[in-house]
Amino acid sequence: MSTSIDNFLHLCAPGVQALQPYLPGKPVAELEREYGIRNAVKLASNENPFGPSPLALAAAKEVLPDLSRYPEGSGYLLVERLAEKHQLEPSCITLGNGSNDVLDIIARVFLTPDHEAVFSQHAFAVYPIAVQAVGATARIAPAHDGRHGAAYGHDLAAMLELIGPATRLVFIANPNNPTGTWLGSDELEQFIAALPAHVMVVIDEAYFEYVEQADYPDTSTWLARFPNLIVTRTFSKAYGLAGLRIGYALSHPDVAGLLNRVRQPFNVNSVAQAAALAALDDVDYLQQCIMFNREGMTQLVTGFETLGLSYIKSVGNFVAVDTGRSGADVFTALLQKGVIVRPVANYGMPGHLRVTVGRSEENARFLGALELVLRD
């Protein structure tokens, strides 16, 4: 039988037919193979450059002999610990294989081809993927242009205007990736309060632990007032467990019950559960990583200012810098110098690069390479 991509394309779901997959940051090993480079630096994927806590590593190692067994399907111990941390009932929690998994579950529960989802320009790339995969319609609000709000940030008034009878989901990343912009407590609370009852709002707080602004809200404390609110968190960023893929959602128990209907059995492995439990207890290590991130951010933005480059003020563990030229070209030139960052043209920011805050020596390596590239 003769086959081609067209033969299979017409068989797949309509939303998948035109879907472009998410492209992760370039791995160090791949770069070193391609360019014959050693000791490359990766500042592309917003990972914690200091890795997981020693307690998390020890806990992960302890459960390795039991890898022939399926993990605890309900994640009982971790769910109980998260409930204690957030002062919620365990029935409010949904575990995911990373918070991306939770975002996908939410889309599959609440969206159909008859429904719409609203999110902002320059928002996290997983939102349009999750929406399109289920055949729903994405309504994208223009971001602030800098005149009435932080440039590149979420314009909540513009998002509210897109809400209609068919809207079922609103996605808001706070802080947002890749811009690093954030929303304060009052404006975000007023936005959620203004939503009609048929609209679920997802507040994606993947970078929550890094934010130190006084007016930055912990929206998990709002769940009792807003039953249509879902908050997502992850262990991939500040906790340094990206390789184990573990995240979770907090919501009204009835909402969590729906999400858990769709959640795959054993979606969070036993090593991830053990490491996450231990990571939650290592508060000192987490605070140390946050301090180093603050220092590293200062190092990067000071370097940008010295080079005469503008950047978007960020409260995460990354910053988007305007190269003043094709970001893709600068990205490629940096690869040749053994430095991996993230071009963000797919976010509508063709001149910017997103740079993860690394260790001091990694930041210095990047800034030195960037200066050389911009001189050419």
Residue 241 lies in a domain: yes
Give me the pLDDT at residue 5, please.
Answer: 57
**For residues 310 and 303, is the Cβ–Cβ distance under 8 A?**
no
Question: Dihedral, CA atoms, 311, 312, 314, 318, nearest 10 degrees?
Answer: -60
Task: Look at strands 247-251 and 229-234 and give their pairing.
Answer: antiparallel
Question: Looking at residue 342, which CATH number applies to its domain?
Answer: 3.90.1150.10
DSSP H or E stretch at residue 139: strand 137-141
Pair 158, 176 in one domain: yes
Domain holding 346, by residue range, is 10-51+284-375
Q: 290 vs 8, which has greater pLDDT?
A: 290
Q: pTM of the predicted model, to two decimals? A: 0.94
Tens digit of pLDDT for each residue in 170-206? 999 999 999 999 999 999 999 999 999 999 999 999 9
pLDDT at residue 361 tops 80:
yes
CA distance 356 to 16: 31
Residue 1 clears pLDDT 50, i.e. is over it? no
Indicate if 124 and 269 belong to the same structural domain.
yes
Residues 354 and 205 in one domain: no
247 in a structural domain:
yes
For residues 290 and 298, give the distance between their C-alpha atoms in angstroms, rounded to a whole number: 13
Q: Per-residue pLDDT for 103 more than 50?
A: yes
**Beta strands, E only, 82-128:** 93-96, 116-120
From CA 316, how far away is CA 204, in angstroms rounded? 13
On whether both 121 and 229 belong to a single domain, the answer is yes
Tell me what pLDDT residue 61 has.
Answer: 98
Instruction: Check residue 17 and report its DSSP letter.
Output: H
The CATH number of whichever domain residue 230 belongs to comes to 3.40.640.10
Residue 191 CA to residue 185 CA, distance in Å, equals: 10
Q: Which amino acid is at 261?
A: R
Per the model's pLDDT, the better-predicted residue between 64 and 27 turns out to be: 64
3 lies in some domain: no
DSSP state of 237: S
Number of independent structural domains in the chain: 2
For residue 273, give the nearest of 139, 80, 144 by alpha carbon.
80
Q: What is the pLDDT of residues 303-332, one digit of tens each?
A: 999 999 999 999 999 999 999 999 999 999
Q: Residue 31's pLDDT band (boundaries 50, 70, 90)?
A: confident
The whole-number average pLDDT for the span 78-95 is 98
Residue 60 within any structural domain of the chain: no
